[in-house]
């Protein structure tokens, strides 16, 4: 019987180490990789093709929401299980819409995390117990009505990537290197972002990114 191949995506080393020890001790699981930021998560998902991806929401360079979108677009067979400290209904709705198969809080016991991994691997959806039936029904109703779509005011996938890196303080040259773009292209993206959002400087971009959950205050 083949083991469940798990990719751990979290920027906290001690948490990754603890989860790795927990999962590798299970007879039916093995940790095949670890990612410290969202961009690494996307790259390793493409390379390793894990069965289940444990995804934190707040990560540098590319947040868990955008990483999940890209992974599900490029590798739809992947089962993304969100592992986060955030209990916000908005985060839950956004991650589910992005394609996550489950949502677990970091405060759960190790046995619950193991159960959740097995559940999503078997094709089930898993939400931590305090999510009620009403929340799920309300969310699905909003999706059907088009009220839960996170459009970020018309920004493209690439513009959202550039926005996060700008808000995190990266220069145009650093962003260009990270995304394999020219500096001019990055500057054009920045101009388009400003125009679409009606913003005027980097400070406004940071405020917008925080409000939308693209980055978090540290």
CATH of the domain at 93: 3.40.50.2300
> 217 lies in a domain?
no
Give the number of domains in the chain.
2
Same domain for 183 and 118: no
Judge whether 191 and 200 are in contact, CB under 8 Å.
no
Q: Which tokens hold the place of 75?
A: 């590798």
Of the candidate ranges 98-102, 151-155, 197-201, the one whose mean pLDDT is the lowest: 151-155
Say how far apart CA 49 and CA 52 lie, in whole Å.
9
Same domain for 178 and 108: no
Judge whether 22 and 109 are in contact, CB under 8 Å.
no
The residue ranking higher by pLDDT, 53 or 129, is: 53
pLDDT at 134: 44
Helices (H), 102-156: 110-121, 133-144
Same domain for 124 and 164: no
Q: What are phi and psi of 153, to 5 degrees?
A: 60, 40
> What value does the mean pLDDT take over residues 130-138?
54
Domain extent for 193: 152-211
Q: Which of 93, 197, 196 is nearest to 145 (CA)?
A: 93
pLDDT confidence bin for 67, thresholds 50/70/90: very high
- Find how far residue 41's CA is from the centre of its chain: 9
Same domain for 137 and 82: yes
CA distance from start to end of the chain: 43
Q: Which of 208, 203, 212 is nearest to 169 (CA)?
A: 203
Same domain for 96 and 190: no
pLDDT at 129: 62
């Amino acid at each position: 019987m083949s083991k469940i191949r798990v990719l751990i995506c979290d920027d906290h080393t001690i948490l990754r180490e603890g989860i790795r020890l927990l999962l590798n001790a299970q007879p039916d699981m093995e940790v095949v990789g670890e990612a410290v930021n969202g961009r690494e998560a996307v790259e390793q998902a493409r390379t390793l093709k894990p069965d289940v991806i444990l995804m934190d929401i707040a990560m540098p360079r590319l947040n868990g929401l955008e990483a999940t979108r890209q992974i599900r677009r490029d590798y739809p067979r992947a089962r993304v299980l969100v592992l986060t400290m955030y209990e916000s209904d908005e985060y839950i709705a956004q991650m589910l819409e992005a394609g996550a198969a489950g949502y677990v809080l970091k405060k759960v016991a190790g046995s619950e995390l193991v159960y959740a991994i097995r559940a999503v691997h078997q094709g089930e959806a898993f939400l931590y117990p305090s999510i009620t039936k009403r929340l799920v029904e309300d969310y699905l109703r909003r999706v059907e009505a088009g009220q839960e779509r996170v459009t970020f005011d018309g920004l493209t996938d690439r513009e959202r990537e550039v926005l996060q890196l700008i808000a995190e303080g990266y220069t145009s040259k650093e962003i260009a290197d990270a995304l394999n773009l020219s500096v001019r292209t990055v500057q054009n993206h920045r101009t388009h972002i400003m125009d679409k959002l009606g913003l005027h400087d980097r400070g406004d971009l940071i405020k917008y990114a925080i409000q939308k959950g693209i980055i978090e205050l540290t």
